[in-house]
Amino acid sequence: MTEKDKLPGKIEIKIGAMSFSAEGDQDWLSEQLTKVIEAAAARCQDSVETPKSDASPFVDSQSFKLSLASYIKSKEAETNQVMRFLATAGWLRNRGTKDLTTSGVAKALSENHQKRLANPSDCLNKNTAKGYCEKSKHGFFITPEGLKVLGESNDSV
């Protein structure tokens, strides 16, 4: 095809806050589109912010990548509901959740396609009776004894 025979093209693209539109021959548009996509990808990676959470200063939620199923299995809590509750609460804590709640634990199990708890509140009460959890104004937290049962220290993840 000669330059004269090339069909002109038009492109409009919007990626996030970045937009680009141009008219020209197809080869030139292809080159420009590649450049725009590369620039947008670089810009997106530069502007990605770590989501602010109510994470405790001890928790590095960005480095904790273990799935809930793997975490529960590693804590040998697949069959015992009270331990599965504690392990799920520990997993949420490791992912940066500061205020743990029974509904949060039940939701995490459901969203991660794990077996549900028959009575999450009863599981919390049993963990509280064992000294593994303590209730607070906004839910509960795992005590140092509960962290020991999970094989974690108070300041590590």
pLDDT-derived band at 155 (thresholds 50, 70, 90) equals low
Q: Which pLDDT value is given to residue 102?
A: 96
**pLDDT tens track for 33-76:** 788 777 777 776 655 544 444 434 444 455 578 899 999 999 99
List the structure tokens of 153. Answer: 């220290």
Whole-model pTM: value is 0.60
Q: Render pLDDT for 72-95 as a digit per residue (tens, 0 to 9).
A: 999 999 999 999 999 999 999 999
Q: What is the CA radius of gyration of the chain?
A: 25
- Please tell me the predicted confidence (pLDDT) of residue 5: 59
- Of the candidates 46, 55, 150, the one whose C-alpha atom is nearest the C-alpha of residue 96 is 55
pLDDT reported for residue 58: 45
- 3-state SS record for 2-57: CCCCCCEEEEEEEECCEEEEEEEEHHHHHHHHHHHHHHHHHHHHHHCCCCCCCCCC
pLDDT at 92 (0 to 100): 95
